[in-house]
Amino acid sequence: MASGSVLLPYDVTLGAVWTVRSQLPWSALAGRDLNNDSFNTDLVPGTTRNSGSRDLNLTAVNAYRAANGLPPIADSAIDSSALSVADMRVSKSIRLQGTMKLELLLQVFNFMNTRNLQDQYGGGRVNNALSTNFGRIFTARPMAQGEVAAKLVW
């Protein structure tokens, strides 16, 4: 994360925050109970916990898929959960009477309109190796959004 602000001419303040994050780890699940413990959370044989987005053994995943009559998954078909969000704020304070002032604000969130897939909340990542959507993420953070505000301070 990086942030900063600068005072521009006419007492206009410009600030920005940039948040970046590498991909989140995830596990390739077998999609069925392989060890007969009544839980359907077994890993694909040949993979380790949290190896997705790090060092996932896609060869092992594709061998497991082939053994179950499914086509292989290409590395390019696995979505990234890396994050890059840049937010910006512009403000101007206008003195009125006495100690009263009016502050005008413009804020833009994700102003670069970056598509950030989000897998950490609500189970957005499909990690079932038997799914045709294995490795895909179907939820995303909002694209660019803005707001304008006025604040009276006294």
pLDDT at 43 over 90: yes
Range of the domain at 88: 2-153
pLDDT reported for residue 3: 97
pLDDT at 87 over 60: yes
Grade residue 123 by pLDDT with cuts at 50, 70 and 90.
Answer: low
Beta partners for residue 83, in sequence order: 21
Beta partners for residue 153, in sequence order: 101
How far apart are alpha carbons 68 and 31 in whole angstroms? 11
pLDDT at 67 over 70: yes
The DSSP secondary-structure symbol of 9 reads G
Q: With left for phi above 0 and alpha for psi between -120 and 50, is residue 110 left, alpha or beta?
A: left
How far apart are alpha carbons 15 and 87 in whole angstroms? 8
Instruction: Collect all residues with Cβ–Cβ distance below 8 Å to 101 and sequence separation of at least 6.
Output: 93, 94, 95, 152, 153, 154
pLDDT at 48 over 90: yes
- Tell me if the pTM is above 0.75: yes
In this structure, of 1-5, 37-41, 89-93, the range with the lowest mean pLDDT score is: 37-41
Please give the order of strands across the beta sheet that includes 83-95: 2-8, 12-21, 83-95, 101-109, 145-153
Work out the mean pLDDT of the chain and round it to a whole number: 94
Could you tell me the two tokens for 80? Answer: 């990234």
Domain count for the chain, please give it: 1
How far apart are alpha carbons 118 and 79 in whole angstroms? 10
The stretch 68-75 carries a mean pLDDT of 96
Q: Is 11 helix (H, G, I), strand (E, B) or coil?
A: helix
How far apart are alpha carbons 18 and 146 in whole angstroms? 16
Grade residue 136 by pLDDT with cuts at 50, 70 and 90.
Answer: very high
Grade residue 124 by pLDDT with cuts at 50, 70 and 90.
Answer: confident
Grade residue 13 by pLDDT with cuts at 50, 70 and 90.
Answer: very high
pLDDT reported for residue 40: 87
